[in-house]
Amino acid sequence: MNSATRLVTLLGCVASFGNALPVTVAISNPNAFCTQKACPFSYVARTGANANQCGEVDAASRMPTSIWNDQRAVTEYVEATIKYYTVGGVQLENKVCDRKAFVPLKTQLTSWTTPELMRMCDLCGCTYPACPDVPDDPSQNVYCSLCGPKYNTPVIVTIFRPGKPQTSNECGTTFSAGGNTCVRNPGNPINPVAWTTGQNHAACQTYCDTQERGGCCEASLSKAFDCKFYPEGTSVPNATMPRSMTLPCIQPPPPPVATCGKYFGPGGNDCVTDVPPPGGEGYITWTGLTAAQAKVNCAAEGKTGCCSFRSDGSGRTTFYANGYNVPNYRYPNDATLQCTEAPPPPPRPPANCQAFGGAATACSRNPDPTAPDREPTQWLYVEPEVCFAECEKEGQTGCCQHQATGVCAFFAGGQVNSVNPPPSTSAGLCLGPSCTTGLDFACGAAKREGVFQCGQCVGKAQAQLTQCSEAQEEAYCVA
């Protein structure tokens, strides 16, 4: 019997329960996508308000530790879940939602049981939900704990909508060592968002990714809510929390948006492409959209191309990168419009940034709450020299900050602040190219000692070691 398509026997709820009558299903590549680190299940809704959206859960935290040494039981768990758990008539698949076709939308709680799935708990001598938490007997392949309340509380499902991801990953890839926690931004103390993941770090990272903003992600092995995201938060050492780890998250850049025609043209037209983008198939398709939604989705691709919409009730929409319109009278309900990619912004001339000061300095935000770009631009896992160069490329007046964890941030219009800075953080002031008149950038070593000289020091042999105030800086800036 070929191991890749072997038949297994489901003897119980989702594992082997005594001498029950077997249910046999075909297994293809058993356990390929279900490990102790992550065991994802997903589905794509076909109808209703959530049509075309993908739902994803991680079941690894809903399985006892001992089952991972019994690969046959893991296989049976996967197959039973697929066979007996459906969403709107759609069976689950043992895989994650396609990250190239879907982007995170929201998270919500949902039941992790169905009557069909839980009726097999009768084999454990109980009727769900009246089954207690009981010890498992791995030596006999018995895992009746799967019927108890511990592993059957509502599960968090992450909902993804169709679309192109803004970034491949907004949070770091590896949590820090234990003994680190997240803290709120004292200048904008936003309460954290919390989840229970069953101490699954991969799931915690996914939930923090869905926030799509900068901040600090914290995973704990000792808290009830073991995953938290602190918007605009930072990581600090905390020796009293040896089982807490952190992960930096960056603010994703806004996605490019193309300019598309105002309306779809007449029916009987279709899109084609002769030059697909490198590494791509040349098109992406959605269903169930309105004409307005079709235009938004095509524009969100951020590319020059052709957008086709079918008005027969199916809402089928296809975007062809580098595509163009051609008549196609076989499809009288198909209409098209053209989209044009926005030109890239012109490069900025570099700014003049001072060297980072000591470890007791940090950046504060632009004090003007109405000023644009108050959110910092961030880079992860970079050396101080790289951070310094990236800040200069921003070409703006502001503050450049580097942390020992490798997090680099540029605060447009920000200032250097030495009041209660985070540990192992240093900062330096950057002056845009329009702010060089009257400022002495050749005062020697003073520029590299953590301060800038104000305009008064021009021509003086001895530099005035004082950082320019905002008013002084404005007085010497070219309008």
Q: What is the pLDDT of residue 251?
A: 63
What kind and span of H or E run contains 308?
A: strand 305-310
CB count, 10 Å around CB of 278?
Answer: 5
What local confidence, expressed as pLDDT, does residue 86 receive? 86
Q: Where are the domains of the chain?
A: 3-162, 180-249, 259-340, 352-475
- Cα of first residue to Cα of last residue in the chain, in angstroms, is 80
CA distances from 456 to 297, 395, 446, 473 (A): 55, 24, 14, 11
Q: Which two tokens stand for residue 83?
A: 């066979």
Cis peptide before 248 (omega within 30 of 0): no
- Residue 154 is predicted with a pLDDT of 83
The per-residue pLDDT string of the chain (479 residues; one tens digit each, 9 = 90 and over) reads 222 222 222 333 333 332 232 333 333 344 457 887 778 899 998 877 778 888 888 888 889 989 988 888 998 899 999 999 988 888 899 888 887 778 766 667 788 899 988 988 988 999 999 999 999 998 888 899 999 998 998 887 878 888 765 444 467 666 777 888 888 877 667 788 887 776 677 778 878 877 767 788 898 877 666 888 888 787 888 888 888 888 877 666 566 788 999 999 999 999 988 876 655 567 888 887 888 888 988 988 888 999 999 999 888 899 998 899 999 988 899 999 999 998 876 766 777 777 776 667 888 887 777 776 667 888 776 778 888 888 888 888 788 888 877 788 898 888 787 777 777 788 887 877 654 433 433 333 333 333 444 433 333 222 333 344 444 444 433 32
- Please say whether the beta carbons of 79 and 11 come within 8 A: no
Structure tokens at 338: 């053209």
Architecture of domain 259-340: 3-Layer(bba) Sandwich (3.50)
pLDDT of residue 168: 42
Strand ranges (DSSP E) for 359-475?
362-364, 377-379, 398-403, 408-412, 415-417, 425-431
Which of the 8 DSSP states describes residue 330?
T
User: Rounded to the nearest 5°, which phi and psi values hold at 109?
Assistant: -90, 145
- Round to whole Å and give the CA distance between 197 and 155: 9
The Cβ of residue 78 has, within 10 Å, a number of other Cβ atoms equal to: 23
Question: Nearest to residue 343, comparing CAs of 299, 398, 303?
Answer: 303
Q: Specify the pLDDT at position 268.
A: 94
The phi and psi torsions of 152 (rounded to 5 degrees) equal -130, 20
pTM: 0.39
Q: Which distant-in-sequence residues (6+ apart) come within 8 Å of 398 by Cβ?
A: 351, 363, 366, 391, 410, 411, 412, 413, 414, 429, 430
Q: Check residue 167 and give its pLDDT.
A: 45
- Strands (DSSP E) contained in 126-257 are 155-162, 180-183, 193-195, 215-220, 227-231, 234-237, 244-249
